[in-house]
């Protein structure tokens, strides 16, 4: 096996630290996880952590980005595997039941939002991260609409905002009461699609 270059080694170290921090943040929360603990759990020196991340806040932002990327990667895969709109929505429903209300994830998002309240720069970075999440949701909503041949009654971005807000609220409730069904999300998406109009193909002239 060829030896890693310096840049490849640094990238791997950074990825390992983020993955380790994710596990600790999800298990123990933001406040109870220190950079020293991350270093120890990952098997690196404290210097390796501090050379990659200026603060715990920066590391947590990277962790949340990784979580979001993973979750929306799952959604992209399951929607692509759907054979019809009903099948896609059923797969989305199964994902929501497994995922929304995950206590570790829900509490980490909530805890970090509180931390960001009094830090204008961190708050701006978190807003940017959430904008990316909204964009990812909008892309998935548009995929469903295109698959169904539907023109949405509002923009994909507006639809994403509604679905995301509902998902966050439901996730918090399910973290407290897991017996609550996540079907509200797929019902909302279905209503958006049924409220739309059939797409009209563009005709060429000539």
62 contacts 53 by C-beta, under 8 angstroms: yes
For residues 50 and 60, membership in a common domain is answered with no
In whole angstroms, what is the distance from residue 22 CA to residue 66 CA?
8
Return the closest-CA partner of residue 186 out of 87, 103, 107: 87
* Tens of pLDDT, residues 60-85: 999 999 999 999 999 999 999 989 88
* Tens of pLDDT, residues 101-130: 999 999 999 999 999 999 999 999 999 999
For residues 104 and 178, membership in a common domain is answered with yes
In whole angstroms, what is the distance from residue 203 CA to residue 172 CA?
47
Residues with Cβ within 8 Å of 163's Cβ and at least 6 positions away in sequence, in order, are 137, 141, 185, 188, 189, 192
For residues 50 and 61, membership in a common domain is answered with no
Residues with Cβ within 8 Å of 92's Cβ and at least 6 positions away in sequence, in order, are 75, 78, 79, 185, 186, 189
**90 domain residue, yes or no:** yes
For residues 29 and 97, membership in a common domain is answered with no
pLDDT value at 53 more than 90:
yes
For residues 109 and 25, membership in a common domain is answered with no
User: Sorting pLDDT into bands at 50, 70 and 90, what band is 1?
Assistant: low
Give the residue numbers spanning the domain of 86. 56-198
Q: Mapping DSSP to helix (H, G, I), strand (E, B) and coil, where does residue 150 land? A: strand
Percent of the chain with pLDDT over 90: 74
Cross-strand bridge partners of residue 150: 198
Q: Mapping DSSP to helix (H, G, I), strand (E, B) and coil, where does residue 151 land? A: strand
For residues 90 and 184, membership in a common domain is answered with yes
Percent of the chain with pLDDT over 70: 95
């Amino acid at each position: 096996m060829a030896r890693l270059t310096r840049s490849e080694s640094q990238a791997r170290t950074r990825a390992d630290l983020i993955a380790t921090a994710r596990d600790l943040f999800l298990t123990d929360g933001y406040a109870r996880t220190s950079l020293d603990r991350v270093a120890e759990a990952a098997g690196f020196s404290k210097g390796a952590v501090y050379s990659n991340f200026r603060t715990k806040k920066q590391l947590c932002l990277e962790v949340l980005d990784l979580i979001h990327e993973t979750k929306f990667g799952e959604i992209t895969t399951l929607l692509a595997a759907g054979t019809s709109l009903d099948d896609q929505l059923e797969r989305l429903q199964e994902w929501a039941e497994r995922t929304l209300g995950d206590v570790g994830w829900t509490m980490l998002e909530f805890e970090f939002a509180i931390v960001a309240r009094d830090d204008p720069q961190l708050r701006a970075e978190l807003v940017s991260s959430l904008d990316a999440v909204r964009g990812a949701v909008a892309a998935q909503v548009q995929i469903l609409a295109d698959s169904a041949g539907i023109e949405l009654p509002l923009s994909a971005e507006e639809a994403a905002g509604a679905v995301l807000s509902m998902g966050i609220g439901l996730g918090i409730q399910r973290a407290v009461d897991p017996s609550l069904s996540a079907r509200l999300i797929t019902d909302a998406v279905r209503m958006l699609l049924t409220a739309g109009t059939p797409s009209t193909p563009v005709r060429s002239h000539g």
